[in-house]
């Protein structure tokens, strides 16, 4: 595969670049570079307006098929879009959970009615989503979810608690993994689960923020106490939740991360510029670590290209399975490097806040979306064909 841009790719790149350059000046100049990891609370209203601006100009959900409101971009152009978005320092996307997780799941598993109802507001930036998987007793061991949903008239009624629910405080809807039937066999706990689409703004849903290291609350506890959703809002059918939930996780760990990691280049540039300014770059150990960080990002880029070159069909090969583990480690090290370049200033909040937030938030990278240990199990079992972990 020729990894250089073709003439058509080049003109697509120009189109994205000029759209972003024009759009991110004027009213939207303030959102440039804001709202990324650790900065999620920044400028909510302006970023919501940005989300709608992107939607109105056809620049949300670019990888979705055209019939579902996307542009049907092949993976290669999808990456170009993300590269240009990162280069322009486009703001953290408020709609990313809907666009990268729920949308692709509905396209793969949803009914035509569900697709018609839920996809257009994601494309337009009108409805925000959150992911209701984890519970106090169910994280890596997701099949242990204890949230229950029972039919009552035309609705499902939910009781239970979710935790670590990112952006639940802004979300209009949550996709919830809930138990709708008891497991017949305790060794087959993934049976009897359903994937429900639940409105967040109703009595019976309580969102309690959890304060994080950064001092903000990117995630929350969510309590369902008699919350209701229509019987039709179950994706893949009652009892099919595990299959659908695993589909969502494959999207979470696969193509959606190809773009996210391009923002790391901007962070490394900021760290390098600081090291030049404050003299840290004179330290040979720091110089080596800056070089290692650069190499780590290049490896990520090359692995993304390798993944793409093996997948003209649009589905990701097994190379993609190392992506989450690798970027989480690289990004966490980048946060540590930022602290060491800041030196004593790392302990003082005096304007270098973005790098301090990078350090604090990147501690979570090796946990969410599947912890490093779980990713290693997945690579061992699914990519290398090693024996399954004893249960």
Ligand X SMILES: Cc1cc2nc3c(=O)[nH]c(=O)nc-3n(C[C@H](O)[C@H](O)[C@H](O)COP(=O)(O)OP(=O)(O)OC[C@H]3O[C@@H](n4cnc5c(N)ncnc54)[C@H](O)[C@@H]3O)c2cc1C
Exposure string over 157-180, b if 16+ CB within 10 A, otherwise e: bbbbbbbbbbbbbbbebbbbbbbb
Q: How many angstroms separate the CA atoms of 356 and 345, rounded?
A: 10
Q: Which of 68, 41, 73, 48 is nearest to 125 (CA)?
A: 48
364 counts as binding ligand X under rule CB under 6 A = yes
Query: Are the beta carbons of 204 and 159 closer than 8 angstroms?
Result: no
164 counts as binding ligand X under rule CB under 6 A = yes
Task: Map the footprint of ligand X across residues 20-49, applying CB under 6 A.
Answer: none
Residue 247 CB neighbours (<10 A): 18
367 counts as binding ligand X under rule CB under 6 A = yes
Between 23 and 217, whose beta carbon lies closer to ligand X? 217
- Exposed / middle / buried, residue 348 (Cβ in 10 Å: 0-12, 13-18, 19+): exposed
Among 23, 60, 114, 165, binds ligand X (CB under 6 A): 165
Among 373, 382, 384, 386, binds ligand X (CB under 6 A): 373
Q: Which of 252, 298, 353, 381 is catalytic?
A: 252
Between 305 and 322, whose beta carbon lies closer to ligand X? 322
139 counts as binding ligand X under rule CB under 6 A = yes
Phi, psi of 58 (to 5 degrees): 75, 25
Among 23, 105, 114, 131, binds ligand X (CB under 6 A): 131
For the bound state, the minimum distance from the C-beta of residue 73 to ligand X, rounded and expressed in Å, comes to 26
Between 119 and 325, whose beta carbon lies closer to ligand X? 325
Indicate the SS3 state at residue 266.
Answer: helix
Secondary element (H or E) of residue 83: helix 75-87
Q: Which residue is nearest to ligand X (CB)?
A: 139
Indicate the SS3 state at residue 317.
Answer: coil
For the bound state, the minimum distance from the C-beta of residue 162 to ligand X, rounded and expressed in Å, comes to 6
Q: How many angstroms separate the CA atoms of 221 and 207, rounded?
A: 6
C-alpha Rg value of the chain to the nearest Å: 21
134 counts as binding ligand X under rule CB under 6 A = yes
Among 64, 81, 195, 219, binds ligand X (CB under 6 A): 219
Q: Which of 50, 85, 86, 56 is nearest to 69 (CA)?
A: 56
Between 23 and 161, whose beta carbon lies closer to ligand X? 161
Q: How many angstroms separate the CA atoms of 130 and 299, rounded?
A: 31
Residue 267 designated active-site:
no
For the bound state, the minimum distance from the C-beta of residue 165 to ligand X, rounded and expressed in Å, comes to 5
Between 105 and 131, whose beta carbon lies closer to ligand X? 131
For the bound state, the minimum distance from the C-beta of residue 151 to ligand X, rounded and expressed in Å, comes to 24
Task: Map the footprint of ligand X across residues 311-350, applying CB under 6 A.
Answer: none
Residues assigned a catalytic role: 252
Residues at the site binding ligand X, with contacts judged by CB under 6 A = 130-134, 139-141, 164-166, 219, 364, 367-368, 371, 373-374, 377, 389
């Amino acid at each position: 595969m020729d990894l250089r841009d073709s003439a058509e790719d080049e003109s697509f790149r120009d189109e994205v670049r000029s759209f972003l350059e024009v759009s991110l000046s004027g009213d939207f100049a303030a959102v440039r570079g804001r709202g990324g990891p650790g900065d999620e609370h920044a400028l909510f209203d302006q970023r919501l307006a940005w989300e709608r601006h992107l939607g109105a100009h056809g620049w949300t959900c670019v990888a979705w098929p055209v019939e579902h409101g996307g542009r049907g971009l092949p993976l290669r152009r999808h990456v170009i879009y993300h590269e240009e978005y990162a280069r322009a320092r486009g703001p953290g996307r408020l709609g990313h959970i809907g666009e990268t997780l729920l949308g692709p799941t509905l396209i793969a598993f949803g009914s035509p009615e569900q697709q018609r109802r839920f996809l257009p507001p994601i494309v337009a930036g009108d409805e925000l989503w959150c992911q209701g998987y984890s519970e106090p007793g169910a994280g890596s061991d997701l099949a242990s979810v204890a949230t229950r949903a029972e039919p009552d008239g035309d609705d499902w009624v939910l009781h239970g608690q979710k935790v670590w629910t990112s952006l639940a405080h802004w979300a209009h809807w949550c996709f919830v993994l809930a138990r709708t039937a008891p497991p017949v066999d305790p060794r087959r706990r993934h049976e009897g689960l359903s994937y429900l689409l639940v409105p967040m703004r109703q009595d019976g849903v309580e969102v309690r923020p959890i304060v994080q290291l950064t001092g903000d609350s990117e995630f929350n506890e969510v309590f369902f106490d008699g919350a209701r959703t229509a019987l039709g809002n179950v994706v893949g059918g009652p009892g099919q939740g595990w299959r659908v939930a695993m589909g969502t996780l494959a999207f979470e760990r696969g193509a959606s991360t190809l773009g996210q990691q391009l923002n790391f280049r901007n962070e490394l540039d900021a760290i390098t510029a600081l090291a030049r300014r404050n003299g840290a770059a004179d330290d040979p150990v720091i110089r080596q670590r800056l070089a290692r960080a650069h190499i780590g990002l290049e490896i990520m880029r090359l692995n993304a290209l390798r993944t793409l070159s093996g997948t003209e069909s649009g589905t990701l090969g097994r190379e993609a399975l190392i992506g989450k583990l690798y970027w989480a480690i690289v990004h966490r090290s980048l946060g540590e490097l930022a602290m060491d370049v800041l030196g004593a200033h790392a302990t003082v909040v005096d304007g270098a806040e973005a790098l301090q937030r990078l350090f604090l938030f990147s501690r979570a990278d090796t946990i969410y979306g599947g912890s490093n240990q779980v990713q290693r199990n997945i690579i061992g079992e699914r990519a290398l064909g090693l024996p399954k972990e004893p249960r």
